[in-house]
Amino acid sequence: MLTRIDHIGIACFDLDKTVEFYRATYGFEVYHSEINEEQGVREAMLKINDTSDGGASYLQLLEPTREDSAVGKWLAKNGEGVHHIAFGTADVDGDAADIRGKGVRVLYDEPRTGSMGSRITFLHPKDCHGVLTELVTSATEH
């Protein structure tokens, strides 16, 4: 069962400049940052609030580390902006299987490692009304 909006992913050309915008404009601070070599991104998670299920909601700022990454290709085509929305779940495997059973394409056969040690998978945007959708089980939930 999906329990929260885990994060909204925002693609950007310059992570440091974008972090500074969100800090100066809204007061959001970096909660976590990392480089995900597999996905070809440098990212910063800005914590917005805690949630009633023990999780949190974040903005995830994503800067590609290489042009051929999914985010790099997306930026080249679309420019900066909202890249995806992620829903939190205690069981990414089970929810992905349930959603696949409803005819929605799940992009990974097996969940992969995401931010902060989470387990993630994505749903095809053409099956989700044009929205790239991520399912996330945080490291504290698995």
Is 7 among the residues known to form the active site? yes
Q: Are 62 and 134 in contact (CB under 8 A)?
A: no
- The single residue of 39, 63, 83, 84 carrying the catalytic annotation is 84
| Catalytic residue status for 134 | yes
Catalytic position from the list 39, 60, 63, 83: 60
Exactly one of 63, 129, 134, 142 is catalytic; which is it? 134
Taking the C-alpha atoms of residue 59 and residue 115, their distance in angstroms, rounded to an integer, is: 12
What letter does residue 37 receive in the DSSP assignment? Answer: T
> In the block, which residue shows the tokens 């990212």?
43
Based on the residue annotation, tell me whether 142 is a catalytic residue of this protein.
no
Among 39, 43, 63, 83, the active-site one is 43
d(CA 92, CA 61): 22
Active-site option among 7, 39, 63, 83: 7
Question: Mind telling me the catalytic residues?
Answer: 7, 43, 60, 84, 134
